[in-house]
Amino acid sequence: MDDILLLDAIERYLNGEMNTDERNYFEALRKKTPEIDQMVVEHNMFLHQMEFYAANRNIKHTLHEVHSTLLIKGDINEGGELPTRGKVIQFWNKYKRITAIAASVGGVIALFISGLAVYFSTTVNDPKLQQLGKDLEAVKRNQQYQGSIINEVKSKIPLNARLLSGGSGFLIDTKGFIVTNAHILRGTGAIVVNNKGQEFNSSIVFIDQEKDLAILKITDAEYISAKSIPYSIQKNNADLGEEIFTLGYPRNEIVYGMGYLSAKTGFNGDSLSYQIQISANPGNSGAPVFNKNGDVIGVLSTRQAQADGVTFAVKSKNIYSIVESLKESDSSFRKIKLPSKTTLKNVDRKSQISKVEDFVYYVKAYGK
């Protein structure tokens, strides 16, 4: 939809000028298109600010008339000594609150209009998604990769291979099966690193590009299986507004983030994903999204480039479907058992993180 036509439709909607069919269609469009909904909210705010601006001009006009009246009556004097100091003080006490309101409204209008100009300078109708995988080669070339962990990882990969991309992943079976995003695995193999800095060789056993999910299997002899996984993987959809948190690797150490579920569908109404409000950076791809009870409800995948904090996560029920697909394609994986119970319910957040962080991994893909 053309920007001018869209703005015209928004004004007609806000002014109540649409007929019933038009209004129903537009409200459905708002629900499935977060960008248009955001434009409606901001345009409504803009109209209110313009009303404030008009009120401000009226106040100034009234003050000017009062000032002129006082000059004519001789209560105040433009150039010389004031006839009566007490009358001026009385005038100030009467109108100082109005003057303060006028100044405040003027400041708010200036800030809002400048912000709105910046917002509409971008292409609202052509939002872009940014994958949250990390380009390791670019990081190395720019010498932005900190710490010595990259040198340690080199000993785990073939001599003729190089690191290509990175992200996060988490255990779904104690035997070393890890879920991550498909877009992270650009190469032919992967290294996974736990929160203690220990690296483990792994193999890519399944990739589903449509769902943007993949399964790794730790194949390193140094890996010691945990007795159990503290979280469960939820089969049902999560609730709108539900508090969520995540642990991932946007840097060389594990990072915690907190937010809430803002829409039951993803970008452009994608039914495979949720929209969540949370800060996410490259490297967060593949990180688990937990609800307050410690159930995994999704896997972080992408964010909206032009909207701060708008992030998308593949729904956790898709993990069940890719595991079933793997079992059907290779009978040797039929013993995979996804965790169905959580030990994190009614546990404070600090303790939840402590119990979960050992099961979240830094994933680094390599190839030729």
Q: Tens of pLDDT along 233-286?
A: 999 999 999 999 999 998 889 999 999 999 998 888 889 999 999 887 877 899
Gap between the Cα atoms of 305 and 131, Å rounded: 9
Gap between the Cα atoms of 193 and 265, Å rounded: 31
Going from the C-alpha of 310 to that of each of 8, 291, 355, the distances in angstroms are 26, 17, 27
**If we measure between CA atoms, which residue out of 170, 174, 218 comes closest to residue 336?**
174
pLDDT of residue 133: 56
Element (H or E) spanning 301, and its range? strand 295-304
Residue 234 makes CB contacts below 8 A (sequence gap 6+) with 291, 295, 296, 297, 316, 317
- Contact between residue 356 and residue 230 where contact means Cβ atoms under 8 Å apart: yes
Mean pLDDT of 56-80: 64
CA atoms within 13 A on the CB side of 329: 10
**If we measure between CA atoms, which residue out of 174, 30, 55, 186 comes closest to residue 108?**
55
Q: Is the pLDDT of residue 106 over 70?
A: no
CA atoms within 13 A on the CB side of 349: 11
Gap between the Cα atoms of 112 and 368, Å rounded: 51
- Note the pTM of the prediction, 2 decimals: 0.61
Q: Is the pLDDT of residue 120 over 70?
A: no
Mean pLDDT of 38-67: 69
Going from the C-alpha of 17 to that of each of 11, 20, 119, 246, 332, the distances in angstroms are 8, 10, 26, 44, 63
At 158, which amino acid appears?
Answer: P
Mean pLDDT of 158-170: 86
Q: Is the pLDDT of residue 317 over 80?
A: yes
CA atoms within 13 A on the CB side of 112: 17
pLDDT of residue 122: 38
Gap between the Cα atoms of 289 and 296, Å rounded: 6
